[in-house]
Amino acid sequence: MVAEPAAGTGSARRASPMGWWRRQSLRFRVTAAASAVLALALAASAWVLVGVLSQSLIATIDESAYQRAHRVRADADADRLPPELSNPDGTLIQVIDATGRITHATVGTDRLVPLLGPQARQSAIRAREARFLDGRPYGIPGPLRVAAVAADRGQVVIAARSFDEVGKSVAAAGRVLFLGTPILIVLLAGASWMIVGRTLRPIASLRRGAAEITGTARSRRLPVPEARDEVHSLATTLNDMLARLEAADGRQRALVSDAAHELRSPLASIRLQLEVALDHPEGQEWRDTAEGVLEDAMRLSRLAEDLLALARLDERGGALARREPVDLDALVRQGTERYADNPVLVRRAVPDEQITVTGDALDLGRVLTNLIDNAVRHAASAVVVELRVSGSEALLTVTDDGPGIPEADRERVFDRFTRLDSARSRDEGGAGLGLAIVRETVRAHGGGVHLADAGPGLRAVVALPLRQDSSIK
């Protein structure tokens, strides 16, 4: 599942257990870690269980031994003890008098040797606690719990109960745990191995799907698992990313092919003019040829500039190269000066106040030029450039009285390489990149642009957010 490390891996790293662990599959690591934690937890709980069990069983034994001892003491104090005590519950009793002689005992109990010697008796009485005693010297197999109680006239009552049963039950419980715990761990390890394998399966198929995606294949998507889990959201997120990459790739391809297409006709035209001129040098008007070639060269250079502007906008991904205060008033004045000797009238309707926005003066100048170029090209008699403030926005409008653009096409013309013009105006126009540059530049400035009907003609409206802190800088 996991690739072997490269052959060059240092021997020091290979030897380290952490390195070994990291090279194992995720499935193995999860299973091993879960099983190890469970094994520790089970071992600890088994240990606690056995301890608590034996403690409580010992307490039970001790209690019954003391109960019996107290009953016998009451009888001894009242001098009502028969010489031979009955033994209904298996508790051995010895009653020892002040001289250390055994005066009474249960049936079958040693009548000569006390279970506890004089010192042990005294300490047991003081401690009020039963203690362990090996029963074999007294003919009893296994350990005993022995309790001692003081009675009147210096007598001592000793009660003993066999510990054997407790030992047996604790040992049985221990055996069950000792065998059951490993079985439980093995079962859990198997289950976790299977569950982790099942969980990782969609990831493996994601990986396979990703490996199958090649640069050329179109519309490839990763397999999305049915379960609505983390892998599902990973797969959908990756697919969204693939879709975006594919779209960007598609746009790039389209741009390249459109650009190549646009380059072809001026180049063909230059080539044709030069070929004709060279084939028939006599009677050739070289000046006309040069002018024709120059015109085509201008088209080519305009196209190259537009493509470069778009490439820069794409590169920056909607951000501005410069953020500086731009005086729109001055920008419009400079922008319209170029059209001073144009047959089409250019008027400015600029109020007195200064209108400043934040951005790149060069880029905004290009926006204005593109719009005025379009308007001048289509206008019948006049073009009006207007600048005003509306709320927190500066509104820049370029209005002409030409044919306008039908409602249905007013969004479409913002697309790259989209031209609606007839063959006549195409000669003057560009490659259909002007409005695309306008829109992307305005968006990078946080504004918007749309086309409206000027009845007759077209009005391009650019809205830019006003500079907030114009007083500061």
Ligand X SMILES: Nc1ncnc2c1ncn2[C@@H]1O[C@H](COP(=O)(O)OP(=O)(O)O)[C@@H](O)[C@H]1O
Q: Does residue number 266 form part of the binding site for ligand X (CB under 6 A)? A: no
Q: Does residue number 225 form part of the binding site for Mg ion (CB under 5 A)? A: no
Nearest CA among 96, 122, 98 for reference residue 110? 96
C-alpha–C-alpha distance, residues 446 and 443, integer Å? 5
Closest residue to Mg ion, judged by C-beta, is 434
Residue 402 binds: one of Mg ion, ligand X, none (C-beta under 5 to 8 A by kind):
ligand X
Span from 133-141, 256-264, 345-353, 426-434 in contact with Mg ion (CB under 5 A): 426-434
Residue showing tokens 């003057």: 428
C-alpha–C-alpha distance, residues 119 and 361, integer Å? 109
C-alpha–C-alpha distance, residues 220 and 72, integer Å? 93
- Any idea what DSSP says for residue 109? S
Q: Does residue number 434 form part of the binding site for Mg ion (CB under 5 A)? A: yes
Query: CB burial class (10 A; 0-12, 13-18, 19+) of residue 102?
Result: middle
Q: List 458's β-bridge partners, or say none.
A: 453
The phi-psi region of residue 455 (left if phi > 0; otherwise alpha if psi is between -120 and 50; otherwise beta) is left
Of the candidates 131, 221, 419, 450, which one interacts with ligand X according to CB under 6 A?
419
Of the candidates 65, 429, 454, 467, which one interacts with ligand X according to CB under 6 A?
429
C-alpha–C-alpha distance, residues 468 and 473, integer Å? 10
Indicate the length of the chain as a whole number: 473
How many residues lie near Mg ion (CB under 5 A)? 3
Query: CB burial class (10 A; 0-12, 13-18, 19+) of residue 198?
Result: exposed
Residue number, 161 or 416, with CB nearest to ligand X: 416
Span from 27-35, 264-272, 391-399, 424-432 in contact with Mg ion (CB under 5 A): 424-432
Residue 393 binds: one of ligand X, Mg ion, none (C-beta under 5 to 8 A by kind):
none
Residue 458 binds: one of Mg ion, ligand X, none (C-beta under 5 to 8 A by kind):
ligand X
> Least Å distance between CB 393 and ligand X?
22
Name every residue whose Cβ is closer than 8 Å to that of residue 16 and which is 6 or more positions away in sequence.
none
Q: Does residue number 464 form part of the binding site for ligand X (CB under 6 A)? A: no
Q: Does residue number 375 form part of the binding site for ligand X (CB under 6 A)? A: yes
> Least Å distance between CB 244 and ligand X?
25
Task: Spell out where 374-457 has E strands.
Answer: 382-390, 393-400, 448-453
> Least Å distance between CB 330 and Mg ion?
23
Asked whether the beta carbons of 433 and 417 are under 8 A apart, the reply is yes
SS3 148: strand
Asked whether the beta carbons of 258 and 418 are under 8 A apart, the reply is no
Q: Does residue number 162 form part of the binding site for ligand X (CB under 6 A)? A: no
Residue 400 binds: one of Mg ion, ligand X, none (C-beta under 5 to 8 A by kind):
ligand X
Span from 90-98, 233-241, 321-329, 414-422 in contact with ligand X (CB under 6 A): 414-422
> Least Å distance between CB 272 and ligand X?
23
Q: Does residue number 447 form part of the binding site for ligand X (CB under 6 A)? A: no
C-alpha–C-alpha distance, residues 101 and 92, integer Å? 16
> Least Å distance between CB 424 and ligand X?
11
> Least Å distance between CB 211 and Mg ion?
46
How many residues lie near ligand X (CB under 6 A)? 23
Output the CA torsion sign for 368, 369, 370, 376.
positive
Residue 378 binds: one of ligand X, Mg ion, none (C-beta under 5 to 8 A by kind):
ligand X
Residue number, 372 or 463, with CB nearest to Mg ion: 372
Concatenating the DSSP letter of every residue in 314-329 gives HHHTT--S--EEEEHH
Q: Does residue number 441 form part of the binding site for Mg ion (CB under 5 A)? A: no
Q: What are phi and psi of 413, to 5 degrees?
A: -70, -15
Of the candidates 135, 202, 209, 432, which one interacts with ligand X according to CB under 6 A?
432
The CA dihedral of 188, 189, 190, 191, to the nearest 10 degrees, is: 50
Residue 421 binds: one of Mg ion, ligand X, none (C-beta under 5 to 8 A by kind):
ligand X
Give the footprint of ligand X on residues 269-308 (CB under 6 A): none
Structure tokens given for 447 = 């504004």
C-alpha–C-alpha distance, residues 350 and 371, integer Å? 17
Residue 31 binds: one of Mg ion, ligand X, none (C-beta under 5 to 8 A by kind):
none
Q: Does residue number 430 form part of the binding site for ligand X (CB under 6 A)? A: yes
> Least Å distance between CB 403 and ligand X?
6
Q: Does residue number 374 form part of the binding site for Mg ion (CB under 5 A)? A: yes
Asked whether the beta carbons of 41 and 106 are under 8 A apart, the reply is no
Closest residue to ligand X, judged by C-beta, is 434
Give the footprint of ligand X on residues 392-411 (CB under 6 A): 400, 402-405
How many Cβ atoms sit within 10 Å of the Cβ of residue 314? 14
The contact set with Mg ion (CB under 5 A) reads 374, 430, 434
The contact set with ligand X (CB under 6 A) reads 370, 374-375, 378, 400, 402-405, 413, 418-421, 429-436, 458
